[in-house]
Chain A
């Protein structure tokens, strides 16, 4: 079955790409390409004229054809880069369908790549991550995983765990003598190391989640602290209404911004105070709800409240007219723009833990849940080990965590464990 779809977002654009994949893809496009230069022996890339059923030219396009299995989907594939006019796009799709293709379901190109063995599951997920990522860093993570980075990293953790299991199994299955004097100590060391690595994977996921989905940053503070002025400055636009009247902002105003490649959904809120005004009261309630859900809160001009360090930046505004009344992380003037660069750096640092290496990322919630479950079982194993519990229960937990890691990449078999046993020990009768 040959499928067709427009692979670029709907609407008018400079160019658009229509993809056709399947055994008959090349034959299919020859229906609407004037003097089609491709066949199943000579693929390639050419500028072609697109013609309708009556032979009338309706666009000029760059057409690239690939032969399976050396294509994205693993089967014959043609990409038509036409001008981004919705009429042209739908004409190409109509002509292709007229020539026997059917409309692709969402994700079907990638699904075919997976079914044809071009991608493993984690790689297929990275494709989705690349497509949906809102930042360059997110795209980079996706690309890295697509090249097998994730599988490799998980593979390393797995081989550490397999080696612990092998040591314990040797003790359970074969050795009646005390041939492994440091078994418990070594296993503890290896498990602790795995706990750390898995933890860093989860942390890195939470961080890349921000790169991909964006972080939510809320500006909070008492009325007239200059929240809207700061908001307008950061979004570079007069979006929030600014007056000297307290309580001007009643609803949450939000806007996407970008700090050093990190996508941020910035939110301006109503100033927090006791109020009898019903509308303002609702506004304050919304502010507090945003505070709860935010990844980061910029709290203006309130030295009195003590905050947990992780989620809050304590900022003193209006440095042009006042002096700080207490201890603040950053002192700025939203009006003059004084020290705004410092504030941006502080926001970035608060959201992104610089200690974590950005080498490999988990790119889907499914992967993260699997790693978290694996982490839980390694922790359980470690605490059983520390509690002096019996080895086969510890193995049980480690095996469970290996199963979870396997769900991300490829499978570990019992033979992998036995191979490890046989290669490291003299296995007697």
Chain B
């Protein structure tokens, strides 16, 4: 057996969004890291839609950014259009999203990796070297081995990937890319349980074949929002996307050919997501909708290749084409490639600790779609956590575990390890019970201390964010401590159709009224230093305003969090024997035994656990003499 290169501390398998974050953060923390990819040129590829961020996802990208991640920065550099979604709703659900130039994103990612001197090796990992339940290296297809003490698997959809287009099936990891074989079987033999999931992608069409006059153009925001705190002077392009609509003729063709679809007819054994369903699912399940929106998005600047958002499908290619041709404006549409569904192996994430390390194999971490998630941002979030924790494992430091009230990333990991999913997991803001605190505008406040502790950011960014947070709190204090006189504000209040004030009133109290903004107070609340940009100033004022407006709700949530803290800190011993508690329901006992919750808090959040079973558990944990 020949050895290649030197010994590494960490091998990251896969160069997608999870793999990039994991390897770069470990590398940054001084870990000797190598990224292994089957194709060097596909590192950083965005396989599906040309966008980063969006509802709940924009928040995650900003969290990754504060934790030293890179996705937001790459996205900012390749933005074709920037828009904050949900602007008509409350601030906690405002979510920045960038349409991106996929080619540029990939190029920037690869250049950045080169610039940072991260080792990248082109090859295929087929199995792990595991001794005494701990990982000591990876074997490559050519028989060689890389020795290491930790591995992060980020294999995406490549494990035994199978593409479906109608009845046609192709072994592939992505369209036109070879799939990976061996890892699943190897991990199975080590006792890890795997399953099959599927996901789909829409056809890519030719720009020149579309009658663009028939679509509605959508542009980005006048004041764009960057996804990275590192980005300064964000002035992206503003290339439009266009919306078109399906009609009854489109639906008829699809309905008549449902049986040809792998995504609909159940031919595909794996489970697909209920959100972002295929067009055939939409037409069948929601047949009361006479029309569905299709968003035509450029894949790179002024690209000939156009992404048909909303038309994910695995119908026969000919049917895809015929049904699309019924859409007004797409009568002459031509494909660059058809939509398809892909089926792949994932590993049940309940087999992981809350550090994303395998419970069974020490030193083995997993991140991204291999854990049953969907989405670039979900992958990137797990990548950064796996990268940080693998480096903690190697450096023998305390691991980093984010709580559900720290970050969406905390919600994501907690959900993954406690709730075995049977469809790809996507983040929604409604999954976060502390949504009001997890805003895209305060990711820095929530995570900067953690970032400092684990040395995840460079000095410059740290200083910049520290100053921003400090200034924000200054403004909040100022508004909480100072009054405004009736004559200074009543005219404005009158104009806003708000009740006038009769006596000097705390500025914060006026700001709590739904219609009032800081600007309405007409006072300078922020001393501007020279090094603060205008963008930064706006962010500070906006965030201070939000803190005051939400303070009532946030305080209530904080009380809640304090209340449940006791359960979060109540440890269930590793060797706790649930079989001894006869009174547990069988269903709960089985789940406890499989998932092995580390705390009572975790036990409570496992799906389908009856509150009475938690009461029983508490009785036994508090009175150990009951267990004989």
Asked if B55 and A391 sit within 8 Å, CB to CB, the answer is no
- Asked if A355 is an interface residue, CB under 8 A from chain B, the answer is no
| Measured CA separation A197–B236 after assembly (Å) | 53
Given contacts A74-B583, A392-B436, contact A418 B90 (CB under 8 A): no
Partner of B514, one of A165, A389, A418, A425: A389
Shortest Cβ distance from residue A310 to the other chain B in the assembled complex, whole angstroms: 34
Q: Which of A176, A392, A410, A421 has the most chain B CB atoms closer than 10 A to its own CB?
A: A392
Partner of A117, one of B93, B277, B285, B612: B612
Asked if A428 and B607 sit within 8 Å, CB to CB, the answer is no
Asked if B583 and A120 sit within 8 Å, CB to CB, the answer is no
Which residues of chain B (1-48) have a CB below 8 Å from chain A?
none
Which residues of chain B (552-590) have a CB below 8 Å from chain A?
553, 582-585
- Asked if A390 is an interface residue, CB under 8 A from chain B, the answer is yes
| Measured CA separation A406–B610 after assembly (Å) | 11
List, in ascending order, chain B residues with CB within 8 A of A116's CB: 582-583
Shortest Cβ distance from residue A256 to the other chain B in the assembled complex, whole angstroms: 37
Asked if B611 and A121 sit within 8 Å, CB to CB, the answer is yes
List, in ascending order, chain B residues with CB within 8 A of A425's CB: 286
Asked if B285 and A418 sit within 8 Å, CB to CB, the answer is no
Identity of the chain A residue whose Cβ is nearest the Cβ of B431 in the assembled complex:
A414
Asked if A392 and B49 sit within 8 Å, CB to CB, the answer is no
Given contacts A414-B430, A414-B431, contact A426 B292 (CB under 8 A): yes
Given contacts A116-B583, A117-B583, contact A392 B92 (CB under 8 A): yes
Asked if A417 and B276 sit within 8 Å, CB to CB, the answer is no
Partner of B429, one of A115, A173, A410, A427: A173
- Asked if B112 is an interface residue, CB under 8 A from chain A, the answer is no
Partner of B430, one of A387, A389, A406, A417: A417
Asked if B430 and A426 sit within 8 Å, CB to CB, the answer is no
Asked if B275 and A427 sit within 8 Å, CB to CB, the answer is yes
Give 1 or 0 for each of B267-291: 1 = CB within 8 Å of chain A CB: 0000000111100001001100100
Identity of the chain A residue whose Cβ is nearest the Cβ of B423 in the assembled complex:
A422
Asked if B86 and A172 sit within 8 Å, CB to CB, the answer is yes
Identity of the chain A residue whose Cβ is nearest the Cβ of B435 in the assembled complex:
A392
Asked if B275 and A391 sit within 8 Å, CB to CB, the answer is no
Identity of the chain B residue whose Cβ is nearest the Cβ of A421 in the assembled complex:
B430
- Asked if B131 is an interface residue, CB under 8 A from chain A, the answer is no
- Asked if B496 is an interface residue, CB under 8 A from chain A, the answer is no
- Asked if A429 is an interface residue, CB under 8 A from chain B, the answer is yes
Q: Which of B293, B312, B611 has the most chain A CB atoms closer than 10 A to its own CB?
A: B611
Asked if B610 and A418 sit within 8 Å, CB to CB, the answer is no
Shortest Cβ distance from residue A257 to the other chain B in the assembled complex, whole angstroms: 40
Asked if A114 and B612 sit within 8 Å, CB to CB, the answer is yes
List, in ascending order, chain A residues with CB within 8 A of B582's CB: 116
Which residues of chain B (84-108) have a CB below 8 Å from chain A?
85-86, 89-93
List, in ascending order, chain B residues with CB within 8 A of A406's CB: 611
| Measured CA separation A177–B86 after assembly (Å) | 10
Partner of A390, one of B89, B277, B293, B616: B89
- Asked if B56 is an interface residue, CB under 8 A from chain A, the answer is yes
Asked if B610 and A392 sit within 8 Å, CB to CB, the answer is no
| Measured CA separation A177–B289 after assembly (Å) | 14
Partner of A173, one of B49, B56, B433: B56
Shortest Cβ distance from residue A117 to the other chain B in the assembled complex, whole angstroms: 5
List, in ascending order, chain B residues with CB within 8 A of A172's CB: 55, 86, 89, 93, 429-430
> B interface, by DSSP: helix, strand, loop or mixed?
loop
| Measured CA separation A161–B627 after assembly (Å) | 40
- Asked if B428 is an interface residue, CB under 8 A from chain A, the answer is yes
- Asked if A336 is an interface residue, CB under 8 A from chain B, the answer is no
Asked if A117 and B585 sit within 8 Å, CB to CB, the answer is yes
Give 1 or 0 for each of A90-123: 1 = CB within 8 Å of chain B CB: 0000000000000000000000001111001100
List, in ascending order, chain B residues with CB within 8 A of A171's CB: 89
- Asked if B525 is an interface residue, CB under 8 A from chain A, the answer is no
Shortest Cβ distance from residue B302 to the other chain A in the assembled complex, whole angstroms: 23
| Measured CA separation A422–B282 after assembly (Å) | 11
Asked if A173 and B428 sit within 8 Å, CB to CB, the answer is yes
- Asked if A415 is an interface residue, CB under 8 A from chain B, the answer is yes
Give 1 or 0 for each of A389-429: 1 = CB within 8 Å of chain B CB: 11111011001000000100011011101100110011111
Identity of the chain B residue whose Cβ is nearest the Cβ of A165 in the assembled complex:
B430
Asked if B55 and A174 sit within 8 Å, CB to CB, the answer is yes
Chain A interface residue count, CB cutoff 8 Å, equals: 40
The number of chain B residues touching the other chain, given as a range, is 35 or more
List, in ascending order, chain B residues with CB within 8 A of A418's CB: 428, 430-431
Give 1 or 0 for each of A361-403: 1 = CB within 8 Å of chain B CB: 0000000000000000000000000011111110110010000
Which residues of chain A (168-199) have a CB below 8 Å from chain B?
169, 171-174, 176-177
Shortest Cβ distance from residue A3 to the other chain B in the assembled complex, whole angstroms: 13
Asked if A429 and B93 sit within 8 Å, CB to CB, the answer is no
Asked if A120 and B612 sit within 8 Å, CB to CB, the answer is yes
Give 1 or 0 for each of A44-62: 1 = CB within 8 Å of chain B CB: 0000000000000000000
Asked if A427 and B436 sit within 8 Å, CB to CB, the answer is no
- Asked if B309 is an interface residue, CB under 8 A from chain A, the answer is yes
Identity of the chain B residue whose Cβ is nearest the Cβ of A166 in the assembled complex:
B430
List, in ascending order, chain A residues with CB within 8 A of B275's CB: 174, 422, 427-429
Asked if A173 and B55 sit within 8 Å, CB to CB, the answer is yes
List, in ascending order, chain A residues with CB within 8 A of B431's CB: 414, 418
Identity of the chain A residue whose Cβ is nearest the Cβ of B274 in the assembled complex:
A422
List, in ascending order, chain A residues with CB within 8 A of B436's CB: 392-393, 396
| Measured CA separation A117–B433 after assembly (Å) | 29
Asked if B277 and A391 sit within 8 Å, CB to CB, the answer is no
List, in ascending order, chain A residues with CB within 8 A of B553's CB: 393, 396
Which residues of chain B (303-336) have a CB below 8 Å from chain A?
309-310, 312
Partner of A177, one of B276, B293, B309: B293
| Measured CA separation A326–B292 after assembly (Å) | 74
Identity of the chain B residue whose Cβ is nearest the Cβ of A384 in the assembled complex:
B514
Partner of A413, one of B86, B310, B584, B607: B607
Asked if A115 and B93 sit within 8 Å, CB to CB, the answer is no
List, in ascending order, chain B residues with CB within 8 A of A421's CB: 430
| Measured CA separation A165–B49 after assembly (Å) | 29
List, in ascending order, chain B residues with CB within 8 A of A428's CB: 275-277, 282, 292-293, 310
| Measured CA separation A415–B309 after assembly (Å) | 26
- Asked if B619 is an interface residue, CB under 8 A from chain A, the answer is yes
Identity of the chain A residue whose Cβ is nearest the Cβ of B582 in the assembled complex:
A116
Shortest Cβ distance from residue B89 to the other chain A in the assembled complex, whole angstroms: 6
Identity of the chain A residue whose Cβ is nearest the Cβ of B515 in the assembled complex:
A388
Partner of B90, one of A392, A411, A429: A392
Q: Which of A74, A413, A428 has the most chain B CB atoms closer than 10 A to its own CB?
A: A428
Given contacts A426-B277, A427-B275, contact A173 B430 (CB under 8 A): yes
List, in ascending order, chain A residues with CB within 8 A of B585's CB: 117
List, in ascending order, chain A residues with CB within 8 A of B591's CB: none
Asked if B89 and A391 sit within 8 Å, CB to CB, the answer is yes
Asked if B86 and A115 sit within 8 Å, CB to CB, the answer is no
Partner of B277, one of A74, A176, A415, A427: A427
Asked if A427 and B276 sit within 8 Å, CB to CB, the answer is yes
| Measured CA separation A140–B584 after assembly (Å) | 30
- Asked if B230 is an interface residue, CB under 8 A from chain A, the answer is no
Shortest Cβ distance from residue A187 to the other chain B in the assembled complex, whole angstroms: 14
Identity of the chain B residue whose Cβ is nearest the Cβ of A169 in the assembled complex:
B430
Asked if B93 and A392 sit within 8 Å, CB to CB, the answer is yes
Identity of the chain A residue whose Cβ is nearest the Cβ of B282 in the assembled complex:
A426
List, in ascending order, chain B residues with CB within 8 A of A388's CB: 514
Q: Which 3 A-B pairs have the closest CB atoms?
A: A390-B90, A426-B286, A427-B275
Q: What 5 new A-B contacts, CB under 8 Å, besides A117-B612, A427-B275, A429-B312?
A: A114-B615, A117-B583, A388-B514, A411-B611, A427-B277
Which B residues contact A (CB, under 8 angstroms)?
49, 55-56, 85-86, 89-93, 274-277, 282, 285-286, 289, 292-293, 309-310, 312, 419, 428-431, 433, 435-436, 514, 553, 582-585, 607, 609-613, 615-616, 619
12 residue pairs of the A-B complex, CB under 8 angstroms, read: A117-B613, A173-B93, A174-B55, A174-B428, A177-B293, A387-B514, A410-B611, A414-B430, A418-B430, A425-B286, A426-B292, A428-B310
Which A residues contact B (CB, under 8 angstroms)?
74, 114-117, 120-121, 165, 169, 171-174, 176-177, 387-393, 395-396, 399, 406, 410-411, 413-415, 417-418, 421-422, 425-429
